[in-house]
Structure 1
Amino acid sequence: MIEIKKKKDGRERAILIGAVTQYQNEERLSEYLDELAFLADTAGADSIKRFSQKLDSPNPKTFLGTGKMDEINEYIKANEIDLAIFDDELSPSQLKNVERLFEIKVLDRTNLILDIFASRAQTSYASTQVELAQYQYLLPRLTNMWTHLSKQKGGIGMKGPGEREIETDRRIIRDKISLLKKKLEKIDKQMSIQRSNRESMVRVALVGYTNVGKSTLMNLLSKSEVFAENKLFATLDTTVRKVVIHNLPFLLSDTVGFIRKLPTQLIESFKSTLDEVREAELLLHVVDISHPNFEEHLETVDRTVAEIDGTEKPVIMIFNKIDAYQPEKVDPDDLSPRLNNRHFTLEQWQKTWFARTDRQAIFISATEKDNLEDLKNRLYETVAEIHARRYPNNRFLF
């Protein structure tokens, strides 16, 4: 895999590239590029400039049109850019063509996320999951790694040494993928047994977009120290803690955060991690309400949970970071302002949310501990109800 190599100051100079299409307008692309810049920062790169182009569909050869790509190439050469990052996944041929044109490292969002996951993996299990996802991403892109052999057309007894090298590498990587899958299957079985052998306690899982405060909330509820940081994907390994509220114990899992355009390779590789969500009896969906795009983040998590068959579960929505929430201000000189949900106060959001869904919801600040007791009481009531239904003979807890 291509890794982001740091300069002496520890940072690389990157440009971000995206497209305005029928599926994402300029505002949506701007939001995605903001997120891509955060991803780049997490990986150790500074975003120097952004480029975009309006297209009916991406150029099959270079993603953007020839003129725009030439403009970007001139900027790269004039400004000592080290890295070009595309917001969408590039096909193997696009990656090959763009790297040949720019003559610098080229990543797409998928590759960047995989790179961050690789740097964040703390255990052998997480490392194995990421390694599998990386090889699955790499396999169809192998031809790009042998461009130095592209001029060798082969001959009698040769049939193209470059092609033969590529096929050898493909076999090696396929074998590696097979071994990693077997290793993960073995670990998954062990972890499944561990989950089934846990005490007769209700299992609760924290889910949410990346960097919404799940680990901070985990620390508060379990009175333990789970790694929490203001970075994307600070948590990769699932952490399970026993939590006791009003003498009622339950198991709480902190899982990997989701993100828009989450690589399918990661969803497949992190099966056991996501099994914690699939097998939980209650989901705590944490949302950063201070983020301007929190509604889209919420929908992204809901879609991912649906993909892993986790929709038929009770959910408590936890709108976190109310201390940082700031509604957009209305211009006092504007006689006919166009108001939207970004102008809502917290009180208006609460009324709006409760009016359009039957999900339980509570608004908190994990860092300031605002409404934490309300959350604990809500948790107690919900978990106690599930416990009484699942373990009717275990009444001593109440």
Structure 2
Amino acid sequence: MPQSEFESLGSTLLVHVELPQAQSQEDLKELQLLAESGGGDVVFCVSCKREAPDPSTFIGSGKVVEVSDAVKAYEVQTVIFNNKLTPAQERNLEKAFGVRVMDRVALILTIFAQRARTYEGKLQVELAQLQYEQARLVRGWTHLERQKGGFGLRGGPGETQIELDRRALRERIAAIKKDLDVVALRREQNRSLRKKNAVPVVSFVGYTNAGKSTLFNRLTNSDVYAANQLFATLDPTLRTVELPVIGKAVFADTVGFIRHLPHDLVAAFRGTLEETAQADLLLHVVDASDEHKEANIEAVNAVLKQVGAEDIKTLVVYNKADLIEDSADEIIRDDNGAPHRVYVSALTGFGIDKLLSAVSELLSDNLCEFTVKIDGRHGKLRSLLYASNAVDSEQYDENGNCLLDVKITAVDAAIIDSKTNGALSDTCMQEKKPWIQSNEFDFDSVN
């Protein structure tokens, strides 16, 4: 349904249930941020501990009475559980409270629907919503009677109605997948073009509200929407930047991750998230001031594994360094000497130079390195190599010839060789055209 038809959360009551299973633990503060990001006004919270969920109401009859009283006292419009509810539990709770009830998964889906702006983003969110409803339709279809808004479908009791609902869901899901296949084909064509032109891609990933978009804006001089709220950015954004030595690169800002990201959402956004798996480098942005940063890092790594991006070269970027005391103003390296972590502040600009240096160093693994020997006849070649920031060092031999140690991308090498009528190839002291080994590029396209 159209995004404008979403029912406001209004005054919201949160229910936080602590269960002994580690995988069931959620953060109450994070739930409050989610509710506020979804437009809710949190007026009260109820917390409790249970050994296991009550099959009928999740929280048991005593807590149902307590929450019901709070709903009346605070004039609550929406009750949000920090746990996943079954359709039957949701239905029983709504009957007891007399207001809308939703769980954490439905809340995240609602936020995503509010944030989607592009055609692809809206399709992906709708697909996730319908797949979520399809699963609930099979397990507990009578809950559709109470749908008054959000992303649900209206339906009434009766075998005929549920079959109609099922068919409508299947047909709409199939139509959305077909449309997304067309979008995916276009994305693959763009990706192939970037690969053909040997343009490296740097993808920003991280837990939601880690400051990815603010950092992206500072590095690319862009104005991507950034706010202190969860999932401020949903639709991916690509920008071209110039990096030292590397030259042109594409920076990609992506949606933030969260613990226990709904499976339907990961599946629906797989096409977009696969851009991450195709990147040459990941910038894993972490909120350095967050007390749960280690758990957040694990949550992001879990999603990266789901989309096949766990083996992509990664630089960990501790953002919001202005909010902590022990920020290192240096590139922290791993056991092999490669850049592993940097501290930055997207707000103040602290550490940005170190970040760009580390990115260039990690991407330079894909550069061609060779030495050229030139004399006075090759002034144009020398000028072009320096203009491309490709000269690593310069020295002279005993005969007065200039020896340039060159570090350059395959595409720039091919272009310079063409512009100098093969002078780069002729002056190379190793084999001719060593950049040909970087065979991703269509060298025949260089004129």
Partners of 1:164 and 1:363 lie apart in 2 by 60
Q: Any gaps of 5 or more consecutive residues in structure 1?
A: 149-159, 327-344
**1:312 paired residue number:** 311
Secondary structure of 2:111's match? helix
Distance 1:393 1:242, change over 3 A: closer
Secondary structure in structure 2 of the residue aligned to 1:292: coil
Q: Which of 370, 373, 379 is the matching residue for 2:350?
A: 370
Tell me if the contact between 2:338 and 2:362 (Cα under 8 Å) persists in the aligned partners: no
Tell me which residue corresponds to 2:301. 302
**1:225 shift after superposition:** 2.2
Does the CA contact (< 8 Å) of 2:123 and 2:180 recur in 1?
yes
Return the offset for 1:97. Answer: 1.3
Match in the other structure for 1:5: 7
Query: Equivalents in 2 of 1:260, 1:269: separation in Å?
Result: 17
State the aligned residue count: 360
Contact conserved, 2:142 with 2:157, CA < 8 A, in 1? no
Unaligned runs of 5+ in 2: 148-155, 370-407, 417-447
- 1:289 alignment counterpart: 288
CA distance in 1, matches of 2:13, 2:415: 57
**How far off its partner does 1:224 sit?**
2.3
**Match in the other structure for 2:187:** 191
Shift of 1:261: 1.8
Deviations 1:259-282 (A, max 9, x none): 112111110111221011111111
The offset of 1:307, in angstroms, is 1.1
Please list the CA deviations of residues 44-84 of structure 1 after superposition, one character each: whole Å capped at 9, or x if unmatched.
11112211221122112111111111211122122211110
Secondary structure of the structure 2 residue equivalent to 1:253: strand
Deviation at residue 397 of structure 1 after TM alignment: 9.5
Structure 2 counterparts to residues 241-390 of structure 1, below 5 A: 241-246=239-244, 248-325=247-324, 345-346=326-327, 360-388=340-368
Matched, 1:235 2:233: yes
Whole-Å separation in 2 of the counterparts to 1:35 and 1:281: 32
Alignment partner, residue 138 of structure 1: 133
**Alignment map for 1:160-179 (pairs within 5 Å):** 162-179=158-175
Matched, 1:85 2:80: yes
1:203 maps onto 2:201 in alignment: yes
Shift of 1:395: 3.6
Q: Which residue of 2 aligns with 1:107?
A: 102
Aligned to 1:20: 18
Shift of 1:118: 0.8
SS at 1:197's partner residue? helix
Deviations 1:241-260 (CA, angstroms, capped at 9, x unpaired): 11112252211111110011
- Matches of 2:278 and 2:316 in 1, distance apart? 18
Distance 2:64 2:414 in 1: 69
TM-score, scaled to structure 2? 0.74
Q: For residues 161 and 370 of structure 1, what CA distance do their matches in structure 2 show?
A: 60
* Cα distance between partner residues in 2 of 1:190 and 1:19: 44
Which protein has greater RCO, CA pairs closer than 8 Å, 6+ apart? 1
Who wins on radius of gyration, i.e. which is larger? 2
- Measured against aligned partners, the alpha-carbon deviations of 1:270-320 in whole angstroms (never above 9, x if no partner) come to 122101111111111000011121111111101110111111111100000
Alignment partners' CA distance in 1, 2:319 and 2:249:
22
**CA distance in structure 1 between the aligned counterparts of 2:146 and 2:283, rounded to whole angstroms:** 49
Q: Deviations over 1:178-236 (max 9, x none)?
A: 11111112211221111111231111111001111111111222222222222211211
Residues in 1 aligned to 2:362 and 2:229: alpha-carbon distance in whole angstroms: 31
Is 2:219 the partner of 1:221? yes
Identity within the alignment, %: 36
